[in-house]
Each structure stands twice: as C-alpha cells, then as structure tokens.
Amino acid sequence: MKKRVLFLCTHNSCRSQMAEGIVNHDLGDRFDAFSAGTEATAVNARAIEILKEIGIDISGHRSKVLGEFDGQQFDYVITLCGDANDKCPLFFGGVQRTHIGFSDPSRLKEGTDAEIMREFRKVRDEIRVKLTEFLTKP
C-alpha cells in the first residue's frame, strides 16, 4: 500500500506544487503526494514551466487549501516554508510532521527572466534531491 504525503506551503502555488509533482512522478510507485496551502492562490506559471523541462506535467494542478484534506490520513505532513510550519494545525493526529524548508523562487522579482528561471531550477532540483532522500531513507 502506498504511503500518503501532504506538502504544505503558504500559497500552494510553487514549492508545494513542485514537490507534489516530483514525488508523484519519481516515487509514485510508493507514494501518493498531495499539496495544500494555508491560503489558496494559483499555480505559478514558472513552476509549471520548469517541471515541464524535466518531463513532469503539473499544468492540471490547482491551488488547494488545507481544509480540503480534513479527515484524511497521511503518513507524512511536510511543510516547505516557515510560515506554513508556524501555522500548520496539529489536527493530523499521530502523523509524522516534518519541516524541510526551501527558498521561495517566486519572491525573486529583480533580475532577468533567465536569472529568475535559474533560481526556479535551483529550488526544483533541491526539492527533488532532499525529498527523495527523506522519503526513501531506511
């Protein structure tokens, strides 16, 4: 039976969406990944674009709020930003809740498009490595 993992970030637009897509793509034989935010917005277009570069399509994803998962059981709840870590309620009884923080590439407003995309790629690659290491450790 697959383990269920929920990724949380404030707006469920970038990091948590990338994490959901990467884990479902790379580790989908062992995990069902979901994502939500303390507030819902929209999936970041650059996050969609940089995942597409590595063969992962999240264009059908939508931003979700935490309340959509009320009553559901998860093996892991992983916060990806400090704000979500602070605001994450403790109603996930008995679940392993972990914080694995990543910088927010969507906050980068200055610089060329190439520089901004480079930051998105850096965070994407960090998410892929760190979450794979965490979820596959013995």
Query: 59-104, pLDDT tens digit by residue?
Result: 999 999 988 988 888 999 898 876 655 565 555 555 777 889 898 8
Nearest to 88 by CA among 39, 137, 42, 52: 39
Dump pLDDT digits (tens) for 12-65.
Answer: 999 999 999 999 999 999 999 999 988 889 999 999 999 999 999 999 999 999
How crowded is residue 64: how many other Cβ atoms within 10 Å of its Cβ? 17
By annotation, the residues acting in catalysis are: 9, 81, 88
Tokens describing residue 56: 């992962």
> Could you tell me if 120 and 107 are in contact, meaning their C-beta atoms sit under 8 angstroms apart?
no
H/E element holding 92?
Answer: none
Domains contained in the chain, CATH given: 3-136 (3.40.50.2300)
Rounded distance, CA 36 to CA 11, Å?
A: 8
**Quick check: pTM over 0.75?**
yes
Whole-number pLDDT of residue 4 = 94
Mean pLDDT of 95-118: 86
The CA-to-CA distance between both ends of the chain, in Å, stands at: 17
